[in-house]
Structure 1
Amino acid sequence: MSDNIYQNLTMLGGDTKQPASPEEAVLERVPNPQADVNYAVRFTAPEFTSLCPMTGQPDFAHLVIDYVPGDWLVESKSLKLFLTSFRNHGAFHEDCSVTVARRLIDTLEPRWLRLGGYWYPRGGIPIDIFYQTGEVPAGVWVPDQGVSTYRGRG
């Protein structure tokens, strides 16, 4: 391969310090070698955590991120470090979910993006957050996110 599209990556393949906050976290991207094709990419983060901004107690979510890339792909280690940077970040569920989606959109400029944030109950109420940039491009198969509404033991 004469043109190494991965040459500018700084995190993959080495020791990387965990970012202290989402603002400090860097999302890295690489050119999409299949940019002429519409296809869906899915990332699932079943152990996403943040902190309640009022109590400091941990909040837990299952995030599902679907996107149709344009010219860029997200590098998955940088995505993992970005998502885990929320562990000490105090914000409501809505803010955390939409912040993740918007950072990905700003970094990747995807043709389409959808994020489902399925938050576990706090105070007896589960909160699910859904964000989408528009209609799915024609001809792209995007499966259901497969996360059912929280039911507890019932």
Structure 2
Amino acid sequence: MPKAEGKTFSFLGEDAIETGILETIDFHNKEREFVRYETDEFSAVCPFSGLPDIGKVTIEYIPSDKIIELKSLKYYFVSFRNVGIYQEKATQRIFDDLFELLKPIWMKITVVYKTRGGIDATTIIEKGER
């Protein structure tokens, strides 16, 4: 792997992401309800330079029998703050953690990252039947 030029910053590994902090709420609805959560306060760091990657996360899903407890979701996102993880991998990690926890009928995670180096990045993962 090439080395970053100039100053680099230290960062934590992916094991610092606190998946155990996520909580669910039982949810039983006779209709297929569409749920969307958004935050523009997501941040992690580039594992190449240690510089921050900041993005807007949109979580969309159709619950099966549980929904995410929002305070625990906020704490989960905060646990990424000092983790060195590529943008695409961060989206995959969020998707995998939430899909495993909620087992929704359908889920889509979109992360729109702030421009870095003149390049805009959007990552999207979707699974299930909408």
> Do the two structures share a fold, i.e. TM-score over 0.5?
yes
Partner Cα distance (2:67, 2:59) in 1: 13
Structure 1 residues 24 and 33 mapped into 2: Cα distance closer, same or farther (>3 Å)? closer
Partner Cα distance (2:24, 2:112) in 1: 26
More helix as a share of residues = 2
1:74 and 2:68 equivalent? yes
Q: 3-state SS of the aligned residue for 1:56?
A: coil
Using the size of structure 2 for normalisation, the TM-score is: 0.83
Structure 1 position 24, deviation (Å):
5.4
Partner Cα distance (1:83, 1:49) in 2: 8
Q: 3-state SS of the aligned residue for 1:133?
A: strand
Partner Cα distance (1:52, 1:121) in 2: 13
Structure scoring higher RCO (CA < 8 A, sep ≥ 6) equals: 2
Across the aligned residues of Structure 1 and Structure 2, the Cα RMSD in angstroms comes to 1.5
Partner Cα distance (1:88, 1:100) in 2: 15
Say if 2:44 and 2:80, in contact at 8 Å, map to a contact too: yes
Q: Which has the larger radius of gyration?
A: 1
Using the size of structure 1 for normalisation, the TM-score is: 0.71
Residue 22 of structure 1, aligned match among 14, 17, 31? 17
1:39 and 2:63 equivalent? no
Q: Which runs of 4+ in 1 moved over 6 A?
A: none
In structure 2, the residue matched to 1:120 is 114
Structure 1 residue ranges without an equivalent (≥5)? 1-19, 137-154
Say if 2:105 and 2:129, in contact at 8 Å, map to a contact too: no
Residue correspondences, number: 116
Say if 2:68 and 2:102, in contact at 8 Å, map to a contact too: yes
Partner amino acid, structure 2, of 1:80 = K
Partner Cα distance (2:124, 2:19) in 1: 25
Structure 1 position 111, deviation (Å):
0.5
Say if 2:113 and 2:121, in contact at 8 Å, map to a contact too: yes
Partner Cα distance (1:24, 1:107) in 2: 9
More strand as a share of residues = 2
Structure 1 residues 25 and 88 mapped into 2: Cα distance closer, same or farther (>3 Å)? farther
In structure 2, the residue matched to 1:83 is 77
Q: Percent identity?
A: 32
Alignment of 1:1-154 (within 5 A): 21-23=16-18, 25-34=20-29, 36-136=30-130
Structure 2 residue ranges without an equivalent (≥5)? 1-14
